[in-house]
Amino acid sequence: MTVATLFIATPEQEESKRIVDGLSSSYLSSEFGDLDSLVTALDRQPDLILCHQYLVEEQQAEKISEFKTKSPNSKLLILGPSRPMGIQIAALKNGARGYFDDSLPIEKLNEALKLILHGEVWVERHVISGLIDELVDVPTINEEQQHALDTLSPKEIEVAEQVSYGATNKMIAKTMNITERTVKSHLTSIFQKMGLPDRLTLAIFFRDLR
């Protein structure tokens, strides 16, 4: 019987050890303390990736896209403390297979990983309801948002669309044949015009427009 491979990325060594010890009989586990080492190792194409929310919190869409690009068949579960429904939904929309509350027992984590390995998702029930609501309801743009969209230049719109697909600044610069500094300048202008706080919010907003 083939044992599934599991990559565990968390900055907490004690947590990593607890997970490995608790799942040792179920998976071939590899541990990583940071994203760089995890991404480098993704050439090995693990069956499952368990990544702590702290490592991807500020650039979730971008990082998950990077995981999927390097190892498209790996199934990703985000691990972390209890988070609002919006963050859990964003993880799913960005390509993760679920969000696991790290206060739950190791037996529940094993259950979650098995479900994800077989194509299911793992999130709290109310999150599934919220996600369904989002998918069913066609997003509408109010007058203020439409006015803000109309103020974006063609280059700014192109940058925003690239962000919604998970592209990094370096990737955007290469695609558009501009410098990374220019990409950052466009993003700053977009955030100001749209009244958006960060890259993740921008990605979700433009993804919903597609």
* The two three-digit tokens of residue 56, written as one number: 């991807």
Residue 179 has pLDDT above 80, yes or no: yes
Q: What pLDDT, in 10s, does the model give residues 26-83?
A: 899 999 999 999 999 999 999 999 999 999 887 888 888 899 889 999 999 999 988 7
Mean pLDDT of the chain: 85
Residue 192: Cβ within 10 Å count: 11
| Residues contacting 43, CB < 8 A, separation 6+ | 70, 71
> What is residue 79's predicted lDDT score, i.e. its pLDDT?
92
Q: At 137, which amino acid appears? A: D
* The two three-digit tokens of residue 163, written as one number: 């962000």
The contacts found for 113-117 with CB under 8 angstroms, 24 or more apart, are 113/6, 113/23, 113/26, 113/27, 113/48, 113/50, 113/77, 114/26, 116/48, 116/75, 116/77, 117/4, 117/47, 117/48, 117/75
Confidence at 88, pLDDT banded by 50, 70, 90: confident
Helices (H) and strands (E) in the chain, counts: 12, 5
Q: Is 4 buried (19+), middle (13-18) or exposed (0-12) by CB count in 10 A?
A: middle
Which pTM value belongs to this model? Answer: 0.60
Instruction: Give all domains of the chain, ordered by start, each with its CATH number.
Output: 4-135 (3.40.50.2300), 143-209 (1.10.10.10)
> What is residue 128's predicted lDDT score, i.e. its pLDDT?
57
At 29 the three-state DSSP class reads strand
More confident residue, 22 or 121: 22
Confidence at 127, pLDDT banded by 50, 70, 90: low
The values of phi and psi at residue 9, to 5°, are: -120, 110
> What is residue 136's predicted lDDT score, i.e. its pLDDT?
47
Question: Hey, which residues does 80 pair with through a beta bridge?
Answer: 101
At 150 the three-state DSSP class reads helix
Q: At 90, which amino acid appears? A: A
Report the percent of the chain where pLDDT is more than 90.
40
Contact 33, 15 (CB under 8 A): no
Residue of 31, 24, 74, 77 whose CA lies nearest to 51? 77
Q: In the sheet where 4-9 sits, what is the strand order?
A: 27-32, 4-9, 48-52, 75-80, 99-101
What is the rounded average pLDDT of the residues 199-209? 76
Contact 88, 82 (CB under 8 A): no
Q: What is the largest CA-CA distance in the chain?
A: 59
Residue 133 has pLDDT above 60, yes or no: no
